[in-house]
Amino acid sequence: MKTDKQRPGRPKDENLAERRRREILAEAARLFAETGYPRADLQVLADRLGVGKGTVYRYFPTKEALFLATVDDGIHGLTEAIDAALEDESDPVRRLENSVRTYLGYFDRHPEMVELLIIERAEFRNRKKATYFVYKERHHDRRRAIAEEGMNSGAFRQMDPERLMRVVSDLLYGVIFTNHFSDRRVPFEQQAQEVIDFILHGIAGREGASSG
């Protein structure tokens, strides 16, 4: 007869730790966005998750570590979304269009990320570089490749690719903050198409076009 020690127990769930970590990050992102960093209470977070406060600390030893992990996780999610949108597309114009739509769509689905970027800047000004700009640097070569491919194919006019990247990047970054602060309710698909149209065609008619 088998003893209790010999009796097989519940199979180990190899993915439980990662699922729990992701649940904590998702709920923490919402909590920080709602309350700000100083007033965010990890007991409230634990209550929302239905776990003990110690469980949260088991994954993230401090509130600061948890907050910075939520920002990093959100930016990583943006990166993954854009990578997926570009994976099977070789045409530089459609790659640019897919990038714009995916970028604006991501922040439309995750408005809490804009708050987290604001909080990071306000509460962690001593950081050498904010998470968002670390992400930009990591993906510099990919964005430059789109610009250069577009120019080489004749789809984009010839210019300094760094200039093109900077202007498009600054435009999109400004759009997400304008949407956030003005509580704009334009469907992101419509807004993305408007942005794409202005990037690709500008506003000047034939008589007003400049060669600069």
State the Rg of the chain over Cα: 22
Average of per-residue pLDDT values in the chain: 90
Higher pLDDT, 14 or 164: 164
pTM over 0.85: yes
Please tell me the distance from the alpha carbon of residue 169 to that of residue 178, in angstroms, as a whole number: 14
In residues, how long is the chain? 212
> Six-digit token pair at 156?
């984009």
- Count H helices and E strands in the chain, helices first: 10, 0
> Six-digit token pair at 165?
């990247």
Given a cut of 80, whether residue 96 has pLDDT beyond it is yes
- 131-138 and 112-123 helices, crossing angle to 10°: 110
% pLDDT > 70, the chain: 90
Mean pLDDT of 157-183: 93
Could you tell me which CATH number the domain at 69-201 has?
1.10.357.10
Please tell me the distance from the alpha carbon of residue 160 to that of residue 143, in angstroms, as a whole number: 13
Given a cut of 50, whether residue 70 has pLDDT beyond it is yes
Which of 57-66, 75-84, 182-191 is predicted with the least confidence, judged by mean pLDDT?
182-191
CA atoms within 13 A on the CB side of 191: 18
Given a cut of 60, whether residue 1 has pLDDT beyond it is no
Please tell me the distance from the alpha carbon of residue 173 to that of residue 180, in angstroms, as a whole number: 11
SS (H, E, C) 47-94: HHHCCCHHHHHHHCCCHHHHHHHHHHHHHHHHHHHHHHHHCCCCCHHH
Question: Is 60:24 a contact under the CB 8 Å cutoff?
Answer: yes
> Six-digit token pair at 112?
């809490």
Q: Domain ranges in the chain?
A: 69-201
Please tell me the distance from the alpha carbon of residue 34 to that of residue 123, in angstroms, as a whole number: 15
Return the number of other C-beta atoms located less than 10 Å from residue 124's C-beta. Answer: 15
Which pLDDT tens digit goes with each residue over 8-48? 555 666 688 999 999 999 999 999 999 999 999 999 999 99
